[in-house]
Chain A
Amino acid sequence: MKYLLPKNELYSRLARWSAEYSILAPQKVGEYSEFLPFTAQSELCLQEPHNTRYPAKALFFPQSETILKYNRISGQLESAAPESQKRIVFGIRPCDAKAVTLLDTVFAEGDNQDPFWLARRAETFLIGLGCHEPCATCFCTSTESGPFHTEGLDALLTDLGEVFFVETLSERVEALFSELSPAEAAQQEIALAVQAAAEKSLPKVFELDGIKEKLDRVFDKEIWAELSQSCLGCGICTFLCPTCFCFDLVDEAQRGTRVRNWDTCMYRVYSLEASAHNPRPTRRERTRQRLMHKYSYWWEHAGKLGCTGCGRCVRYCPVGLDIRAMIKKASAYESEAQHAN
C-alpha cells in the first residue's frame, strides 16, 4: 500500500508506535549520526545526506556480545539468552537494509544458525528512508543496490518535502500505517520521479559483469602490493562496513563470560597462528582478502556481491583509500599487464 506521512506528524506517530515497539532512529552524536532509542526528547537526523557513521548491522550483531557464561570452578555452563524485543528501525538507508539481508545468509541460513541474530531479526521491522541526495562517496548503483531499493525493508519512505511518501513492503507493518491517508497517483508519480532522479545522479562506477573472474585471475599478482601500500592496517573499513561479519570469540576470565567481538581481516593478529605462521603476513594479503571476499567469495557463498556501496570505507579511510578505485584497478590489471607484454 502507498500512504502519505506528513512530516509534522512524524514525531507523534513515532511516539504512538513506541507504546508497543522500541524505536531506533538516527540521531546526532557530535558531528555524526547514530541509531539511538527514540524518546520524547529525541531529535531525529533524517535530513543529513550521510548515513549513520556506525553501521546498522550492529543493531542485530553488536560489536561485543556475551554468548555464554561459565563457572571455572564448577564447570557450569550457561548460554546467554538471545535478546528479543519488538523493535522498529526507522530511517535505515537501503544500502544498510540490503546488507542485513546479506548477513542473513551467514547467520540465518543453513546449519548452525545464530540464535542471537535470529531473535533480534525476527522481531525488528525495518522502515527505510531512501536517499534523494546520494553522497559523492556512495556507489550503491554499482553494487546491485540503489538509493531507493527495497531489499530487506518492510516499508520505504521517499522525502517529498512536506510529506513522506510511504510504500509498505510487508504485511507485518501494514497496521502501523493504516490510519494514514493513502497516496494518490499524482503523489506516487512525484515519488517515482524523485527516486529516478536520485538513481540517475549516481552513475555506475564499474560494471559487476566479470569482476569476480577478473579478480580471481589476479589473485597472486603484484597489484595488491600496490593497492595496499599506504594502508595502515586499522579496522575502520571493516568495522564500519555493513556487510563485514568476521568475529572473534574471547574469554573474559574475570567476568566468566565468553564474548563475541567483531574482528577484522585487516589486523595482523587475525590470521596469526600459535606456531607464529601467518598465512596473511602483510597488508598485501590482508587487503586482497578484504576485497576478494566482497567481490569474489561472496558470489560463491551466497550468489551475491558482498558490498552494498554504502561508501563508509571510502569516506573514513584515514589514508583516503577508495574501494571503487581499488576494484577498478585490480580488475583492470590483467588486461593492462597483457598490454604491457
Chain B
Amino acid sequence: MPTNPSVPNPYLPTPMRVLRAYFESTDRTLKTLELSFENLADKIAFFKKFNPGQFCQLSVFGKGESPLGVASAAWEGDFVRFTVQRMGSVTKALHELKPGDTLGMRGPLGNGFPLADWKGKNLVIIGGGCAFSTLYALTKHVQHPQNRPDFGQLTVIYGARSSGLCMYKHDIQSWYQRDDMEIHQAIDVPEENWDHHVGYVPDVVRQIAPSPDNAVAIVCGPPIMTKFTLPALVSLGFPPEAIFTSLEKRMKCGLGKCGRCNIGSKYICKDGPVFSLAELNALPADI
C-alpha cells in the first residue's frame, strides 16, 4: 500500500533564463540557447546528476515541452547549452526566445554515455546533423585536462548536409590545432572553399577506417545516417557491445511513465537515450 511521502512534483520544471541565444546555421533553422539557473539549488542539483548524453525537457509555457540533448560539458560554466532545430510549435517558440527571457527546464533526464565503462578506451565519435549536439558535449567533456587522461585516442567524425549547417564552427575549427585528437568534417556535396571530406557519413567512416582495437564508437545522427553507419562500424570490426548510439522518439514525461517512447520493453527516456548496438539488437524493430 503506497504511503504518502511528500515527493516533489516530477513534472515541475526548474526556472531558467536565456543567457545567450545565437543562430548556429546560415539557414537559421538551428539556434543555440545557453541557459542559466534562476536558483542556486537547482544548479547544484543539475550538475550533481549531469552526464554528457543526457537530455532535458525545455518548456515554453503556453506551448509545451520539447526534449533536447545537452550540448555543453559541466566544466564550461554555470550554464546549460542546447541547440534547437526549428521543427514544431515548441521549437519555434524556443527560437523566438531572447537573452533575458525565462523558460522552464526538466532534467537532466536519461542515462547519458557510460563514461565509467569507457575508461582507458579510444573513442570514435561519429555525428551527423543537429544530433551532433550531445556528441559535442561528450567531446568537450573528454577534452578537459582533468578528464582527458581517462581516455585513449579521440577521433571525431562530424557530417552535415552543407557547410552552412555545420554547428559550433569556431570551436571545431580550433580542434584541428589540437594534438590530442583527430577531427574529420564532411559535407554531403562539394562546395567551394571546403577543404575537408565530401560524402555521406557512413562512407567517410569507411574511408577513415578507425581501428576497433580497444575502442568504442558513438554514433548520433539522423535515422538514415545511423542505419548505414552501424553496419559500416560492424564491418570495420567493432563488436556490437562497443558501438553506442543515442535514440530519439516522441516524448512527454521523460521519466518512463507517460508510455510513448518505448521500443519493446525499454523506454528511451529512462533506459536510454544511449544504447549499445548489442542492446538494440535484442530489442524489437519498433522505431
Chain A directly contacts chain B within the complex, with at least one CB pair under 8 Å = yes
Assess the B286–A114 pair: CB atoms within 8 A. no
A249–B9 Cα distance when bound, in Å, is 14
A79–B10 Cα distance when bound, in Å, is 10
Assess the B287–A279 pair: CB atoms within 8 A. yes
* Residues from chain A with Cβ under 8 Å of B257 in the complex: 106-107, 112, 114, 245, 247
From B248, B250, B253, residue with most partner A Cβ within 10 Å: B250
Assess the B10–A273 pair: CB atoms within 8 A. no
A194–B285 Cα distance when bound, in Å, is 47
Assess the A77–B252 pair: CB atoms within 8 A. no
**Chain A residue with Cβ nearest B16:** A75
A297 within 8 A of B: yes
A118 within 8 A of B: yes
A322 within 8 A of B: no
Residues of B228-269 contacting chain A, CB below 8 A: 248-250, 252-253, 255-260, 262, 264-265
A226 within 8 A of B: no
**Chain A residue with Cβ nearest B8:** A115
**Chain B residue with Cβ nearest A101:** B1
B114 within 8 A of A: no
Consensus secondary structure, chain B interface: loop
Min Cβ gap A109→B in Å is 8
**Please, what's the 1-or-0 string for A263-298, where 1 marks a CB less than 8 Å from any CB in chain B?**
101000011111101011000010001001100110
Assess the B265–A300 pair: CB atoms within 8 A. yes
A68 within 8 A of B: yes
**Chain B residue with Cβ nearest A258:** B11
Can you offer 15 A-B residue contacts whose CB atoms are under 8 A? A68-B12, A75-B61, A79-B9, A112-B255, A114-B10, A114-B257, A250-B64, A256-B61, A258-B11, A263-B260, A271-B249, A271-B260, A273-B250, A275-B87, A301-B265
Assess the A279–B258 pair: CB atoms within 8 A. no
Contact A245 to B2, CB < 8 A, known contacts A251-B61, A258-B11: no
Assess the A67–B265 pair: CB atoms within 8 A. no
Min Cβ gap A156→B in Å is 15
Size bracket, chain B contacts:
35 or more
* Residues from chain A with Cβ under 8 Å of B15 in the complex: 75, 77
Binds B, one of A19-27, A119-127, A326-334: A119-127
* Residues from chain A with Cβ under 8 Å of B103 in the complex: 75
A253 within 8 A of B: yes
* Residues from chain A with Cβ under 8 Å of B212 in the complex: none
B199 within 8 A of A: no
Assess the A118–B7 pair: CB atoms within 8 A. yes
Assess the A274–B88 pair: CB atoms within 8 A. yes
Assess the A247–B284 pair: CB atoms within 8 A. no
Min Cβ gap A334→B in Å is 15
Question: B259 contacts which of A113, A245, A260, A279 (Cβ < 8 Å)?
Answer: A245
Min Cβ gap A76→B in Å is 9
Assess the A249–B265 pair: CB atoms within 8 A. no
A72 within 8 A of B: yes
Contact A251 to B63, CB < 8 A, known contacts A104-B2, A118-B5, A260-B11: yes
Question: A274 contacts which of B9, B91, B256, B286 (Cβ < 8 Å)?
Answer: B91
B102 within 8 A of A: yes
* Residues from chain A with Cβ under 8 Å of B250 in the complex: 270-274
Min Cβ gap B1→A in Å is 7
Question: B258 contacts which of A79, A249, A274, A301 (Cβ < 8 Å)?
Answer: A249
A179 within 8 A of B: no
**Chain B residue with Cβ nearest A275:** B87
Min Cβ gap B82→A in Å is 15
**Please, what's the 1-or-0 string for B2-40, where 1 marks a CB less than 8 Å from any CB in chain A?**
111111111111010000000000000000000000000
A245–B287 Cα distance when bound, in Å, is 21
Assess the B259–A263 pair: CB atoms within 8 A. yes
A108–B286 Cα distance when bound, in Å, is 28
Assess the A279–B7 pair: CB atoms within 8 A. no
